């Protein structure tokens, strides 16, 4: 078993050699400084056997020969200062080699208990903390009425925010990993509450590769896949709402929107022509481009005097949902409701602006 596991890893010899040299230099200079202080001033006699310094060591002979010369102790003091400087340099280098950026990964579970695994090489430059956000018990609690269940989901997100913000104050970067298929509104709400003030990392599990069960950090690569939008305008002399439909991983049909779509809604529908795929999002730049496109369109349309609220029905990967939530403003956007698809329609949602449950009455 050990032999089999070794084959899964590739040794980075440059890092091994660098670490060995750094440790060796630090230890050697550390020893030398204490040896010279003992020879010149008689300090740390008790420490000498611990570092292997006896009359039989070559350095003992060398230091004594130097002391016999005129100004021998001065020469030893100069050597001691040089070695102390080298020790500090090697220590700083060693610390920098082994220091990592602080990263807090939010592990969001909804439909079921999940095991999160990552590519160790991708996380190599980070010191990682993981914060579970387990909402699957609430989602699967059949004894709770729907409105109470949604309210509890909101409370769970609200309760975890102070802990996340404590990590942010300690300069942790936030990463998001999860597959909250049954809980899109909570993923959006979490992003909305954390906003876009600090750069986030987005983790995605590629469903097309059944041999790879890891969540991977989305790279900052360019993507040529363009998102398209179609508009269906409403009557401006009547009160209406803005319905935003985002279909990336699943098609969203009009029948799915019963109870959400009203007669005088202004409709924005976003999609990638000819493609419906869970793994369609493959880069951070793609996320930012799509999200900025959506948010900019909404910001312009919500200025219409007859638009009373924003309703979002979204079929997309959780990393995109979370990221989209971070792009909305708590001060500049009107009421935003994010809906969840369940049992054939968008049956419930969360008003992320007011943090209240929204139930589609046609579902009840």
User: What's the 3-state SS for 54-104?
Assistant: CCCCHHHHHHHHHHHCCCHHHHHHHHHHHHHHHHHHHHHHHHHHHCCEEEE
Give the residue from 224, 230, 242 showing the smallest Cα distance to 305: 242
**Would you state the pLDDT for residue 363?**
63
Residue 4 has pLDDT above 50, yes or no: no
Q: In which residue are the tokens 């920098």 written?
A: 96
Residue 149 has pLDDT above 60, yes or no: yes
**Residue-wise burial string across 113-144, b where 16 or more C-beta atoms lie within 10 A, e elsewhere:** ebebebeeeebeebeeeebebebbebbeeeee
Beta strands 101-109; 126-134: pairing state: parallel
Taking residues 188-205, what's their average pLDDT? 91
List the structure tokens of 329. Answer: 């403003």
Taking residues 42-58, what's their average pLDDT? 83
Residues ≥6 apart with Cβ < 8 Å to 306: 234, 235, 236, 237, 238, 239, 240, 264
**Contact yes or no for 340/308 (Cβ under 8 A):** no
**Would you state the pLDDT for residue 364?**
58
Residue 6 has pLDDT above 90, yes or no: no
Measured CA to CA, the distance from residue 217 to residue 204 in angstroms comes to: 6
Measured CA to CA, the distance from residue 321 to residue 336 in angstroms comes to: 14
pLDDT digits (tens, 9 = 90+) for 236-267: 888 899 999 999 988 999 999 999 999 999 99
Measured CA to CA, the distance from residue 242 to residue 232 in angstroms comes to: 10
Q: What is the DSSP letter of 149?
A: H
Residue 75 has pLDDT above 60, yes or no: yes
Neighbours of 183 (CB within 10 A): 28
**Would you state the pLDDT for residue 8?**
38
Q: Is 67 exposed, middle or buried (0-12, 13-18, 19+ CB in 10 A)?
A: middle
Percent of all residues in the chain with a pLDDT value above 70, rounded to a whole number: 91
Q: Cα–Cα distances in Å, from 54 out to 26, 49, 57? A: 20, 7, 6
**Secondary structure of 251-313 in HEC code, one letter for each residue:** CCCHHHHCCCCCCCCEEEEEEECCECCCCCCCCHHHHHHHHHHHHHHHHHHCCCCCEEEEEEE
Task: With cut-offs at 50, 70 and 90, classify the pLDDT of residue 18.
Answer: low
Q: In which residue are the tokens 């090697």 written?
A: 90
Residues ≥6 apart with Cβ < 8 Å to 222: 283, 285
**Would you state the pLDDT for residue 33?**
87
**Would you state the pLDDT for residue 2?**
39
Give the residue from 94, 69, 66 showing the smallest Cα distance to 80: 66
Give the residue from 248, 233, 236, 256 showing the smallest Cα distance to 306: 236
Task: With cut-offs at 50, 70 and 90, classify the pLDDT of residue 99.
Answer: low
**Would you state the pLDDT for residue 266?**
95
List the structure tokens of 68. Answer: 């016999």
Taking residues 107-117, what's their average pLDDT? 83
Residue 124 has pLDDT above 60, yes or no: yes
Q: What is the CA angle 319-280-220, rounded to 5?
A: 60
**Would you state the pLDDT for residue 97?**
64
Neighbours of 9 (CB within 10 A): 9
Task: With cut-offs at 50, 70 and 90, classify the pLDDT of residue 14.
Answer: low
More confident residue, 325 or 32: 325
Give the residue from 137, 109, 111, 145 showing the smallest Cα distance to 363: 145
pLDDT digits (tens, 9 = 90+) for 265-313: 999 999 988 777 777 888 899 999 999 999 999 999 998 888 999 999 9
Cross-strand bridge partners of residue 243: 267, 311
Residues ≥6 apart with Cβ < 8 Å to 88: none
Residue 93 has pLDDT above 90, yes or no: no
Measured CA to CA, the distance from residue 190 to residue 158 in angstroms comes to: 8
Average pLDDT, the chain: 86
Task: With cut-offs at 50, 70 and 90, classify the pLDDT of residue 3.
Answer: very low
């Amino acid at each position: 078993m050990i032999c089999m596991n070794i084959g899964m890893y590739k040794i980075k010899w440059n890092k091994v050699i660098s670490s060995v040299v750094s440790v060796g230099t630090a230890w050697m200079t550390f020893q030398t400084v204490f040896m010279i202080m003992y020879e010149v001033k008689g300090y740390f006699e008790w420490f000498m056997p611990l570092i292997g310094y006896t009359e039989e060591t070559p350095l003992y002979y060398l230091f004594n020969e130097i002391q016999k010369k005129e100004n021998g102790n001065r020469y030893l003091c100069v050597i001691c200062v040089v070695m102390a400087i080298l020790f500090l340099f090697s220590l700083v280098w060693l610390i920098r080699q082994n220091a990592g950026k602080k990263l807090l990964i939010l592990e969001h579970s909804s439909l079921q208990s999940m095991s999160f695994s990552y590519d160790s090489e991708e996380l190599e430059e980070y010191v990682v903390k993981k914060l579970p956000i387990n909402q699957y018990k609430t989602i699967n609690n059949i004894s709770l009425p729907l409105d109470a269940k949604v309210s509890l989901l909101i409370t769970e997100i609200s309760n975890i925010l102070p802990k996340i913000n404590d990590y942010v104050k300690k300069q942790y970067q936030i990463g998001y990993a999860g597959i909250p298929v049954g809980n899109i509104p909570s993923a959006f709400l979490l992003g909305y509450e954390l906003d876009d003030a600090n750069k986030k990392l987005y983790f995605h599990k590629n469903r097309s590769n059944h041999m790879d069960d890891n969540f991977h950090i989305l790279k900052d690569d360019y993507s040529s896949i363009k998102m398209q939008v179609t508009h269906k305008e409403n009557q401006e002399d009547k009160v209406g709402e803005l319905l935003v439909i985002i279909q990336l991983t699943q098609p969203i049909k009009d029948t799915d929107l019963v109870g959400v779509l009203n007669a005088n809604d202004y409709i924005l529908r976003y999609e990638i022509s000819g493609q419906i795929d869970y793994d369609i999002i493959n880069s951070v730049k793609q996320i930012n481009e799509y999200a900025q496109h959506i948010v900019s369109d909404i910001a312009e349309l919500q200025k219409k005097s007859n638009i009373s609220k924003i309703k979002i029905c979204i079929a997309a990967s959780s990393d995109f949902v979370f990221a989209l939530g971070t792009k909305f403003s708590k001060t500049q956007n009107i009421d935003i409701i994010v809906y969840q698809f369940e049992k054939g329609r968008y049956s419930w949602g969360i008003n992320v602006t007011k943090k209240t449950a929204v139930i589609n009455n046609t579902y009840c």
